[in-house]
Amino acid sequence: MSALRTNDDTWDIATSVGSTAVMVAAARASETEGADPLIRDPYARLLVAGAGTGVWEALLDESLVDKVAEIDPEIAAVYHHMRNYQAVRTHFFDAYFADAAESGIRQVVILASGLDSRAYRLDWPAGTVVYEIDQPKVLDYKEQTLAAHGVTPAAVRRAVAIDLRQDWPVALTAAGFDTAAPTAWLAEGLLMYLPAESQDRLFEQITALSAPGSRIAAETAGNHRSDERREQMSERFKKIAETIGLTQTVDIEDLMYRDEDRAAVDAWLDEHGWRASAQPSTAEMRRLNRWTGVTMTDDEDAFSEFVTAVRT
C-alpha cells in the first residue's frame, strides 16, 4: 500500500503526485540543456520555473547540485543516474510515438499527462489529435503557463480534465475520441501510483476503447527496494535538504503503491488481445550509454520495463 494515498485524494502541480510531474520536467530541462542531449524539450524549464515546489526547481541550478556532491557524493551520483533514467525514458516513448505516427495513427491519448509537452514539441503529422487526461489543476497550469509564453500545440490538443479513478472513458469520448480509429496510448510515470486492481481496470478500459491496430506503451511500476535501504536514502536526502536550505518535500516512494500481486504488464496485455514486448529500462540505459553504477543500482529488478503492444 501507499503511505500517503487515499481513494479520493487530489492534487495540483505543487503537491502530492502532481509534484512528481515537476521532478520529471526538471530532468527533461537538465537533459535538454546538457551536452549531447538525448531529447530536446524547450518548454520543460518554463513549466518547472513557476510550479512552486522548491526542491525540483532548485535542481535546475547546477551549482546547487555541486554542493550536494560536496556533502554526499553518492546522493549526487544518484541524482545524475535518475536524470539519465528520465532522459532515456523520454527518448524511448518519443520514438514510440514517431513509429505510431509513421504507421498512420492519428489519434493519441496520454494518460496522467502531467507536464508532458509532447503535444507541443513533437513533429506530429497533419490531422493528429492528442488527448491529455489529468487532474484539472494540473492541465490548467500547463496550458496557462505555455500560453503565457506564446507556445501553441503542434497537434490538435484536447484536454480531458478528470481523475483516472473516475469515469474517464465517458469524458474522453465526450471530448471527441473516436473508438473506431486506431489509437496510440501512453501510460508513462503512472502505474506505480495505482494499486494493482486499478492497474488492471485501467488496461481493461483501454482495451475496450481500442480499435484493431491500436498501440500502447507503458512504464511498469517496477519493484521496490527494502524498507531499510529506503529509510537510509530518505535520511540522507533529508540531511542534504536541511544543510543547503531546501524545503523538505514528500518522499516520492510514499506516494507509490507497493503491491506484491501486481500483474506483469506484458503478460496481461498478451492475455487480453494485445501482442506485447518488454524492454528492461536498464538495458535501454546501457544501449544509450547512460547507465551509471551507483549503490542504488545494485538491484536491477527494482527498475521498470518499457512495454509496447499492438491490438490484434
Q: Look at residue 277 and tell me whether its pLDDT is greater than 70.
A: yes
- Give the residue, 263 or 15, on which the prediction is more confident: 263
Work out the angle between the directed axes of helices 62-71 and 73-102 (0-180°, nearest 10): 140
Please tell me the distance from the alpha carbon of residue 247 to that of residue 92, in angstroms, as a whole number: 32
Out of 9-13, 65-69, 150-154, the most confident range is 150-154
Lookup: cell for 221 = 511500476
Q: Where are the domains of the chain?
A: 17-295
**pLDDT for position 3:** 46
- Per cent of the chain over pLDDT 70 is 79
Per-position DSSP letters for 28-74, written without gaps between them:
HHHHHHSSS-S---TTHHHHHHTS--SHHHHTT-HHHHHHHHHH-HH
**133 close to 160: Cβ distance less than 8 angstroms:** yes
**182 close to 209: Cβ distance less than 8 angstroms:** no
Closest among 287, 227, 283 to 258, alpha carbons compared: 227
Please tell me the distance from the alpha carbon of residue 173 to that of residue 90, in angstroms, as a whole number: 27
Tens-place pLDDT, residues 34-43 = 999 999 999 9
The whole-angstrom distance between residue 242's C-alpha and the CA centroid of its chain comes to: 28
Q: Look at residue 241 and tell me whether its pLDDT is greater than 80.
A: no
Q: Look at residue 242 and tell me whether its pLDDT is greater than 90.
A: no
Tens-place pLDDT, residues 199-233 = 999 999 999 999 999 999 999 987 655 566 666 66
**pLDDT for position 2:** 43
**pLDDT for position 1:** 46
Q: Look at residue 104 and tell me whether its pLDDT is greater than 90.
A: yes
Lookup: cell for 209 = 476503447
Architecture of domain 17-295: 3-Layer(aba) Sandwich (3.40)
Lookup: cell for 191 = 502505474
